[in-house]
Structure 1
């Protein structure tokens, strides 16, 4: 009789617990499907819980850990992830987000999903990494938090809009909310100094995605810092433009949000602002922001796996770049006309226009302009006729002689 894989020395599957928020947009429909997919993928579940009351998600995770779970799979949206992942701190177990919500920003940042089949396959493959967790006054979050429009949307969007229309519903409600929105006076205190300015939005990013959209190339889940994006000024249309460009995949354009990396900060606003943490309104100003380095081990897509696309943004990126000329900008060099102007400090960098090498934006724009001028001048047609005439004349005989000489191994 042939030995089983475990008898032959293959490692046993980890004790896995599946905990799904069945109150979430997709959770109730996909709870049973997820169990079947994990079994088919060779990852048997020691326990599976469908939780109707979201407030019971964390306690269910804590009980699974107490019962010896080595892999905790949480199915739901970003809110479900934020409310449960803090329970993993200090545990040797591995955390896996199963994206069943609307935006699924944390799972996107780890390369998990977007479909349930792809997500289960990635989780079953078992590749894991260490990630940081951010904290706002005791509320842990894995991905992002925001002031301004995010809490206004999260606090007022009708549940049926979110459930029935998903990300499209979010977008429509965001446009409606923008009309009623008012800017605020922001104060940010960090070890690097104090920033004060008018702002329309503040994003605190541990990961690169928020609202299901990739909004940063600089934020990293494991770099020990939080990337803060400040949309400064009072113009609501500047805020709309910033989000529009990020939706198209353009994340480094002149006039977009300023960026700064911090390990801790004290943030206040006038008037008082609510704070949305991974889509859930959980705090308000003033508050303390901090980072917990390498706090939790999580499942992620293997680095050798094919990367996911970025949806609409990736599809429209090349067209948008041709329609939106301008120089990409990285870092913080003051907060524009409505904020302080001073040299960059520690952790803040700027990028001048590059004139040589890769990323030569000025040269690329100049070359593109020359192409357009050449095409409009009619010289392209003239050169084409000259080439055609040449191949019908004496030059054609010389070309044929050179071809035959090359074929015979001789130089002409």
Structure 2
């Protein structure tokens, strides 16, 4: 592995770069041409360009990307597209650049990237290479899982960080993730939010769908094991965050994808109104809250069991079912970030 300055120098000296743009993302189709123009004006050249019109084929497309042995892979799309890239680029001597073209762009926000296209392109031109954390998720196979190869085939590293210990390609219940593991109401929302409503309203589509589903949603009991401690709680929503944002909002002022911590937190208890009030607090006060508050459990390894067993959303996709284990892979992903980003 090259040092970060060595990789950065190779990229700026004209190293091999590949561009992947999801033309089906919220803004990808509309801004594809603009993105190509801005990248060219910034002097960024690509050995290969992959406009993605079939997101279901992203997994196999990244096999072609890696075969080119790039120094930089620029990905334009939403959190789902970026998460696919993260799964393939973790523990590799390749930098990930992000053009935020999705609905919430949680990972881009966590990297402190500008959300406008000219600003994001400027970071690709003038930014630096940093190492950030990712997470490793392992659960049981989710209900209705496609067992024909939905899991990433990229050498999902175990908690030891050994990129050679790969998850079996037919096991959709093991996955590297960039931003968030969640269970509860948000999973039902992700499954049921109308695609066209999301395309028209963006983030608001999730809130409207949640409001429709909440009156019928049943609370669950979660048992959380961290080290030698066990915590039990009733709730409608439980999250394990590697990144700093959820639903486009900051989780806590000191949360970061480069802090060597997973943040475990629930929203409310078993009462539905408490979920609504806790969500409102999260939206309104997240940028002032701290991970030191009692609302958060911070760790690098957590085991979660639920009663009843639940499907689990991993960066926007149903990837497993409780019980689940989530681990941190520190400094496992190389990314291009603004010069102001604090790289630890």
User: What range is the shorter-chain TM-score in?
Assistant: 0.7 to 0.9
Indicate whether 1:300 and 2:300 are aligned.
no
1:27 paired residue number? 28
TM-score, structure 1 length as denominator? 0.68
- Give the Cα–Cα distance (whole angstroms) in 1 for the partners of residues 263 and 228 of structure 2: 14
1:291 paired residue number? 328
1:183 paired residue number? 219
After TM superposition, the structure 1 = structure 2 runs for residues 9-408 of structure 1, keeping only pairs within 5 Å, are 12-137=13-138, 138-250=174-286, 252=289, 258-303=295-340
TM-score, structure 2 length as denominator? 0.80
Given that 2:112 and 2:341 are in contact with CA atoms closer than 8 Å, whether structure 1 keeps it comes out as: no
- Give the Cα–Cα distance (whole angstroms) in 2 for the partners of residues 62 and 222 of structure 1: 27
Aligned positions, number: 294
The alpha-carbon deviation at position 280 of structure 1 amounts to 2.0
More helix by share: 1
2:149 paired residue number? none
Given that 2:268 and 2:277 are in contact with CA atoms closer than 8 Å, whether structure 1 keeps it comes out as: no
- Give the Cα–Cα distance (whole angstroms) in 2 for the partners of residues 292 and 35 of structure 1: 33
Between stretches 280-289 and 217-226, larger displacement belongs to: 217-226
The alpha-carbon deviation at position 159 of structure 1 amounts to 0.9
Tell me: higher relative CO, structure 1 or 2? Use CA pairs within 8 A at least 6 residues apart.
2
Q: Cα–Cα, structure 1 residues 56 and 304, in superposed 2: closer, same or farther, change >3 Å?
A: closer
- Give the Cα–Cα distance (whole angstroms) in 2 for the partners of residues 11 and 214 of structure 1: 32
The alpha-carbon deviation at position 55 of structure 1 amounts to 2.4
- Give the Cα–Cα distance (whole angstroms) in 2 for the partners of residues 154 and 142 of structure 1: 17
Given that 1:39 and 1:45 are in contact with CA atoms closer than 8 Å, whether structure 2 keeps it comes out as: no
Unaligned runs of 5+ in 1: 1-9, 306-412
Given that 1:19 and 1:60 are in contact with CA atoms closer than 8 Å, whether structure 2 keeps it comes out as: no
Between stretches 20-29 and 69-78, larger displacement belongs to: 20-29
Higher Rg? 1
- Give the Cα–Cα distance (whole angstroms) in 2 for the partners of residues 123 and 76 of structure 1: 15
Given that 2:268 and 2:276 are in contact with CA atoms closer than 8 Å, whether structure 1 keeps it comes out as: no
More strand by share: 2
The alpha-carbon deviation at position 283 of structure 1 amounts to 1.8
